[in-house]
Amino acid sequence: MSEVTVYESICRCLRDKQIEFRQLHHEPTRTSEDAAKARGEDLRIGGKALLMKTDGEFRLFVLPADRRVDSGAIRRHLQLRKLRFATSDELQDLTNLVPGSVPPFGAPILPFPLFVDEAIRHNDRIAFNAGSLTDSIIMNTADYFSIAVPVDVFAFSVSVESSSNGDSN
């Protein structure tokens, strides 16, 4: 019996809740910029999911792909002493996923508390790699919030105006 993939879990969850979404299979994408091009969407529509270790606990943070995380804002808001990105090995061990393939969902898809940057609300849709570097899902942002059910939504990103850094998540 084969194990259900993260992609299959997401699709099943969306179908069970009768949420409309578009699936897209594409060439492997390692950066947010590559993913946006493959999907034919603006970079800002992308939902970048970052697994971070916060005072000993792993949490998932989602922000628009055209922005970068503001670690200070997360530390202040959650009153943390320590905050760092999960390593590739930790990500693999905890999720069986590679950087760039993490979808923007906590439970029941991934076993982490979910925090979403308020800038995600500025877009009418969200696009994301869905557990692989070759499968994306695009859906309405309001529907995303209704099923993702974040623990908290607050501002923890900053604009990356003219930067073209090739982040991998």
**What integer best gives the mean pLDDT of the chain?**
92
Is it the case that residue 165 has pLDDT exceeding 60? no
Q: Nearest 5 degrees, angle CA 21-CA 36-CA 99?
A: 90
* pLDDT score of 134: 96
* pLDDT score of 2: 58
Which one has a higher pLDDT value, 163 or 7?
7
- Rounded to whole angstroms, the Cα distance separating 78 from 97 reads 26
Its pTM stands at: 0.91
Tell me the pLDDT tens digit for each residue of 35-89: 999 999 999 999 999 999 999 999 999 999 999 999 999 999 999 999 999 999 9
Residue with tokens 């991934």, as numbered in its chain: 110
- Rounded to whole angstroms, the Cα distance separating 134 from 132 reads 5
**Mean pLDDT, residues 112-116:** 98
**Mean pLDDT, residues 107-134:** 96
Is it the case that residue 146 has pLDDT exceeding 90? yes
Q: pLDDT above 70 covers what percent of the chain?
A: 93
Q: Where residue 160 falls among pLDDT bands split at 50, 70, 90?
A: confident
* pLDDT score of 169: 44
| Residue 88 phi, psi dihedral angles, 5° rounding | -60, -40
Of 101, 146, 151, 85, give the one whose Cα is nearest residue 121: 146
Q: Where residue 3 falls among pLDDT bands split at 50, 70, 90?
A: confident
Burial call 56-81: b when 16+ CB within 10 Å, e when fewer: eebbbbbbbbbbbbbeeebbeebebe
Of 91, 150, 104, give the one whose Cα is nearest residue 10: 104
Q: Which domains, ranges and CATH numbers included, belong to the chain? A: 6-159 (3.90.960.10)
* pLDDT score of 30: 85
Is it the case that residue 109 has pLDDT exceeding 80? yes
